[in-house]
């Protein structure tokens, strides 16, 4: 199999080629990804690969001399919170600003061991990539999906969030997705339902002057469930920022809930505000801007942040893992 992404097809005009690679097992992964990366290395095109540590080791061995021209990052670190992945790709593009060569990326944010909540946010991430890099400089991003390990529903959704599809192996030519959502892709996930918790440990309404209570309750529950001092401090700060947003932008009040979900502690803040920007929390607000800072900080401090917003109001859920603390 030979990759079809060349200098001619990528060009130097603004174009973002977002492609899902469907592969089966390690051999399928290599047969799909290697030609794409090797051709980029031969063409002296900068490439960034963000996959699991075992996948990185496997690719380095298989690429040989080409591996020296490629940057690698562990998706377990970069994409622990899926909302941090788009900023990582933005940094990659910024690092090569002024360089007219096409860029290449490989990113695998979805794997079988992801929690149900994280999986949904990864799918939202894949759809939002098309929004984040619409009209960007010339670059191609390949997103591998393991057909042996992932449910059919996940593979179906990948076809809707990627404008281009490819199979691994000798016959794995690239083609357009017949079911790509196009402009509706961000809206399709914006209102994805959030399951109700089985039992809340804390629930309260808050208004101006009650942020101290919100912080104290969050800290006490974090300590109860074994978070260390730094983790408690980070979680409390994230909750404070989101609750403060409710007071400033969400009608001056909000509803706070907290519960345990598997091996995570989850805090939810609801208010009557509306978050119109689909990339909120995924774009650095800038040093001089206060708007958007709360969601950005929450994504840097928490393992998962879920945002849902409609004209009737908004909800933000903050997840912090109770493992490896």
Cα radius of gyration rounded to whole Å, the chain: 21
> Which pLDDT does position 174 carry in this prediction?
83
Flag whether pLDDT at 191 surpasses 70.
Answer: no
Flag whether pLDDT at 251 surpasses 80.
Answer: yes
> Which pLDDT does position 86 carry in this prediction?
98
Task: Give the angle subtended at the CA of 113 by the CAs of 110 and 118, to the nearest 5°.
Answer: 55
DSSP state of 65: G
> Which pLDDT does position 169 carry in this prediction?
59
Which CATH code is given to the segment(s) 7-190?
3.40.50.11570
Confidence of residue 9 (pLDDT cuts 50, 70, 90): very low
pLDDT, average across residues 72-97: 97
pLDDT tens-digit series, residues 141-177: 999 999 999 999 999 999 999 999 999 754 457 899 9
Contact partners, residue 113, CB within 8 Å, separation at least 6 = none
> Which pLDDT does position 285 carry in this prediction?
85
CA–CA dist 165, 105 (Å, integer) = 15
Least confident among 13-22, 100-109, 134-143, 145-154: 13-22
The position carrying tokens 């944010």 is 109
The position carrying tokens 């996959």 is 51
Task: Give the angle subtended at the CA of 92 by the CAs of 89 and 98, to the nearest 5°.
Answer: 130
For residue 181, give Cα distances in angstroms to 128, 155, 221: 12, 14, 41
C-beta of residue 285 within 8 angstroms of C-beta of residue 300:
no
Give the strand order in the sheet containing 264-271: 202-207, 253-261, 264-271, 313-321, 304-310
> Which pLDDT does position 186 carry in this prediction?
60
The torsion angles phi and psi of 241, rounded to 5 degrees, stand at -60, -40
**Tokens of residue 114, six digits:** 């992801």
C-beta of residue 74 within 8 angstroms of C-beta of residue 83:
no
Q: Which fold has domain 202-321?
A: Heat Shock Protein 90 (3.30.565)
- Mean pLDDT (the chain, rounded): 91
> Which pLDDT does position 37 carry in this prediction?
97
- Per-domain boundaries in the chain: 7-190, 202-321
Confidence of residue 8 (pLDDT cuts 50, 70, 90): very low
pLDDT, average across residues 72-78: 97
pLDDT tens-digit series, residues 211-228: 999 999 999 999 999 999
How many residues belong to the chain?
Answer: 325
């Amino acid at each position: 199999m030979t990759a079809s992404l060349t200098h001619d097809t990528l060009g130097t005009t603004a174009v973002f080629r977002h492609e899902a690679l469907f592969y089966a097992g390690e051999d399928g992964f290599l047969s799909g990804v290697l030609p794409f990366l090797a051709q980029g290395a031969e063409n002296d095109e900068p490439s960034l690969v963000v996959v699991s540590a075992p996948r990185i080791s496997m690719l380095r061995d298989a690429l040989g001399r080409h591996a020296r021209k490629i940057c690698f990052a562990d998706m377990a670190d970069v994409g622990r919170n899926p909302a941090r992945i788009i900023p990582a790709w933005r940094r990659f593009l910024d690092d090569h600003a002024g360089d007219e060569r096409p860029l290449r990326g490989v990113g695998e944010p979805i794997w079988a061991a992801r929690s149900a909540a994280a999986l949904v946010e990864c799918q939202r991430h894949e759809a939002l990539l098309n929004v984040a890099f619409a009209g960007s400089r010339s670059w191609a991003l390949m997103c591998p999906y393991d057909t042996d390990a992932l449910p059919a529903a996940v593979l179906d959704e990948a076809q809707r969030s990627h404008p281009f599809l490819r199979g691994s192996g000798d016959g794995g030519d690239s083609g357009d997705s017949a079911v790509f959502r196009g402009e509706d892709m961000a809206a399709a996930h914006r209102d994805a339902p959030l399951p109700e918790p089985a039992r809340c440990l804390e629930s309260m309404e808050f208004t101006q002057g009650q942020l101290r209570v919100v912080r104290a309750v969050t800290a006490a529950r974090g300590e109860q469930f074994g978070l260390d001092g730094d983790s408690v401090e980070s979680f409390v700060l994230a909750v404070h920022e989101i609750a403060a947003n409710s007071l400033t932008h969400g009608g001056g009040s909000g509803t706070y809930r907290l519960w345990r979900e598997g091996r995570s502690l989850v805090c939810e803040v609801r208010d009557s505000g509306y978050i119109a920007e689909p990339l909120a929390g995924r774009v650095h607000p800038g040093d001089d801007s206060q708007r958007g800072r709360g969601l950005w900080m929450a994504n840097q401090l928490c393992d998962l942040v879920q945002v849902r917003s409609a004209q009737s109001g908004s909800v933000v859920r903050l997840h912090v893992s109770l493992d490896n603390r």
